[in-house]
Structure 1
Amino acid sequence: MEYQDIIKDWKQQKFRPLYWLEGEEDFFIDQVVDYAEHKLLSEADKGFNLTVLYGKDTDWATVVNACRRYPMFAERQVVILKEAQSMRDLLKLEAYIEQPLESTVFVVAHKQGKIDGRSKMAKLVKDKGVILSTKKLYDNQLPSWAEAYVKSQGLAISEKACILLADHIGNDLSRIANEIDKLLVNLPQGKKIDENDIEKYVGISKEYNVFELQNALGQQDMPKVMRIVRYFSANPKAAPIQMVIPALYNYFSKINLLFGVKGGEKEMASALGVHPFFLKDYTAAARKFGPGGTERAILLLHQYNLRSIGINDSGNEDGELMKEMVFRMLRP
């Protein structure tokens, strides 16, 4: 079950006595917990029927006692256990989960890990309640996720704007969602978000970013490459070398994959994990660099990654390292 499905059921007044939220992606867990804490009960009912506990500060007896209380002047009560992974005697909740109170909605947030699927606890949770098991999205899934999130808020967004957000922020769904929410406040209903909006409200330059750098490298456009790198050098916070090198490594690794892929555009886009819209940029770069040039670029990225942390380097500034690195990629 997805986190949206749980919230959808709640909006339709469909409840189970237990919701076990676990896994690596905090954003999905936080969305369900936030809804349970702030929207399941009316403001009048929260005072008597909402209990929020923290795993590191509570014990199993306190949790069970809270869950076994009957709601006051309402149909149900809500008990939320946050940071359940920090609760030392978590397994002692088995007795309650085996016979939960139907008038209690018990929400357990167990972040950064999962219970053993073979354990009695896991079987009880599956039998008596709902499990939300989350995992981190892959980098190539972030633009699509950002687009879906924007659509869920009643707006549209261009593909390039999605790429800008994902490349600049990285795999942090909470930050991406926060930046999109900022756009929602500032843009009129029905406006399609584009790179100009990203530049204005998020602070990401539409001309000077890693996405534009990798495109310029793929086109072997030396003047544009150096112009972007000089901007990065003058504005270190815009794109530090520790962010640029992994992004370019990912880019050239995808180009390298093309040399071994058989099939048409659909198969190539699938192998690279990119939207078909952007495939032409990768195939054009593959033709310009060839297998040898692509491998050389990857080796240079490894070499300059070591130099950026002080290995085999006498203390050059990050901007100078970046200039030297891209120059050697294009002028071997």
Structure 2
Amino acid sequence: MDQVIQITKDIKAGTIAPVYFLMGEEPYYIDKLSEFIEKNILTEEEKSFNQMVLYGRDVSMQEIISNAKRFPLMAERQVIIVKEAQELIRTIDQLDDYLEHLQPTTVLVFCYKYKTLDKRKKVYKNIQKKGVLYESKKLREYQIEAWLKRVISGKGYTIEPKASAMLVEFLGTDLSKIANELDKLTIILPKGSAITAEVVEHNIGISKDFNNFEMIKAIVDRDQLKAYKIAHYFAQNSKNNPLVLTLGLVYSYFSKLLLYHGLKDKSPANVVKNLKISQYGLKDYEIGFKNYPMRKVSQIISILKDIDLKNKGVGASALPQGDLLKEMLAKIFN
């Protein structure tokens, strides 16, 4: 994120590199940076003759280099953006020749999604030396809350921790999907509003009471009535609440709770660091520590593995997901 901010600041200040190589598993910031370059380096009048967008599946490296070597028309620079540049993986090394003899009036941008260049290669080192190389890494689930807060704050809104958790559970860690949903909410809500669990429920269609976030909370609190109500809801809506997702999240919680038991230093900062959780999730581990001794946690992890095998039909005919979910709860609360 810091590098993204620095790249945009440099461009605004007129410090523009001849090559931008945007690569990595997370496409969100690759798209954002390429859009920023597309909109901000040339004026609208200059774009007609001096800005082009190419696609890696449709062009060769030689064609890209040929275009990059030409001079701008009635402008200081030309901008060439190569989207889906990962399609050029077999010939990307040909960029070396161009890097050795750069056209200083060309801004060449590669959007190399879902992959990264081999850091040992000459082309990687040359891009670092002559231009800007940015790697967009996937955020972990525990990092999403801070990212959400930062994005929402930049738009002039706030978001409740539960609303954040609901969005991550429903949308995963795909930043583009989350950003699209946030854009919808900010259109509806007045500036300065708080995005609450109720707002998410009414506008995105995620139940604030019947979701995996609430299921785990009910298990942590040993609230059997609430847990079985959610299990019943999941059984009636299995398409939107697959057992495999619930098992994965419950397993993740108890695996981290086992680590929590083993920590000598249970200070908040150390727990957050070692368990890789958000500050907001800390309370669930403090409560779980009291409600589930280490031996019981180990048993639960074995139970979850067994339920997962049954769900896959291993050793027996596949049982209805609702029945397996209830069996899971019965054994956890036993």
**Residue 236 of structure 2 corresponds to which residue in structure 1?**
234
Q: Secondary structure of the equivalent of 1:57?
A: coil
Note the alpha carbon deviations across 1:141-176, whole angstroms, 9 max, x for none: 111111111112221111221112112211211111
2:308 counterpart (302, 305, 313) = 305
Amino acid at match of 2:240: A
Query: Structure 2: how far apart are the matches of 1:310 and 1:42?
Result: 61
Q: Secondary structure of the equivalent of 2:111?
A: strand
Q: Is 2:6 the partner of 1:11?
A: no
Q: Secondary structure of the equivalent of 2:57?
A: helix
**Residue 114 of structure 2 corresponds to which residue in structure 1?**
112
Q: Is 2:152 the partner of 1:150?
A: yes
Query: Structure 2: how far apart are the matches of 1:9 and 1:239?
Result: 45
**Residue 192 of structure 1 corresponds to which residue in structure 2?**
194
1:93–1:277 distance in 2 versus 1, CA, 3 Å: closer
Query: Structure 2: how far apart are the matches of 1:132 and 1:302?
Result: 39
Query: Structure 2: how far apart are the matches of 1:62 and 1:220?
Result: 64
Amino acid at match of 2:102: P
Amino acid at match of 1:151: S
How far 1:38 sits from its partner (Å)? 4.1
Q: Secondary structure of the equivalent of 1:236?
A: coil
Check the 8 A contact 1:60/1:93 in 2, yes or no.
yes
**Residue 66 of structure 2 corresponds to which residue in structure 1?**
65
**Residue 77 of structure 1 corresponds to which residue in structure 2?**
78
Any stretches of 5+ residues in structure 1 without a counterpart? none
Amino acid at match of 1:318: Q
Query: Structure 2: how far apart are the matches of 1:153 and 1:102?
Result: 36
Note the alpha carbon deviations across 1:44-94, whole angstroms, 9 max, x for none: 332211122222221122101111121222221110112222213221121
**Residue 51 of structure 1 corresponds to which residue in structure 2?**
52
**Residue 184 of structure 2 corresponds to which residue in structure 1?**
182
Query: Structure 2: how far apart are the matches of 1:106 and 1:65?
Result: 12
**Residue 296 of structure 1 corresponds to which residue in structure 2?**
299
Any stretches of 5+ residues in structure 2 without a counterpart? none
**Residue 253 of structure 2 corresponds to which residue in structure 1?**
251
Identity of aligned pairs, percent?
Answer: 35
Amino acid at match of 2:326: K
Query: Structure 1: how far apart are the matches of 2:26 and 2:246?
Result: 24
**Residue 218 of structure 1 corresponds to which residue in structure 2?**
220
How far 1:225 sits from its partner (Å)? 0.2
Query: Structure 2: how far apart are the matches of 1:306 and 1:19?
Result: 47
Note the alpha carbon deviations across 1:279-316, whole angstroms, 9 max, x for none: 22212112111112211221121112222222233232
Query: Structure 2: how far apart are the matches of 1:99 and 1:192?
Result: 52
Q: Secondary structure of the equivalent of 1:274?
A: coil
Q: Greater shift after overlay, 196-205 or 36-45? A: 36-45
**Residue 96 of structure 2 corresponds to which residue in structure 1?**
94
Q: Greater shift after overlay, 250-259 or 302-311? A: 302-311
Normalization by structure 2: what TM-score? 0.94
Count residues with an aligned counterpart: 331
Q: Is 2:333 the partner of 1:330?
A: yes
Amino acid at match of 2:18: P
How far 1:39 sits from its partner (Å)? 4.3
Large movers: runs of 4+ above 4 Å: none
Normalization by structure 1: what TM-score? 0.94
Amino acid at match of 1:67: A
How far 1:239 sits from its partner (Å)? 1.9
Query: Structure 2: how far apart are the matches of 1:255 and 1:54?
Result: 47
Correspondence 1:268-307 to 2 at 5 A:
268-307=271-310
Note the alpha carbon deviations across 1:107-139, whole angstroms, 9 max, x for none: 011222222222221121011101101211112
1:136 counterpart (116, 135, 138) = 138
Q: Secondary structure of the equivalent of 2:54?
A: strand
Check the 8 A contact 1:286/1:294 in 2, yes or no.
no
Check the 8 A contact 1:144/1:162 in 2, yes or no.
no
**Residue 23 of structure 1 corresponds to which residue in structure 2?**
24
Query: Structure 2: how far apart are the matches of 1:288 and 1:147?
Result: 31
The RMSD of aligned alpha carbons is 1.6
1:262–1:108 distance in 2 versus 1, CA, 3 Å: same
Check the 8 A contact 2:145/2:278 in 1, yes or no.
no
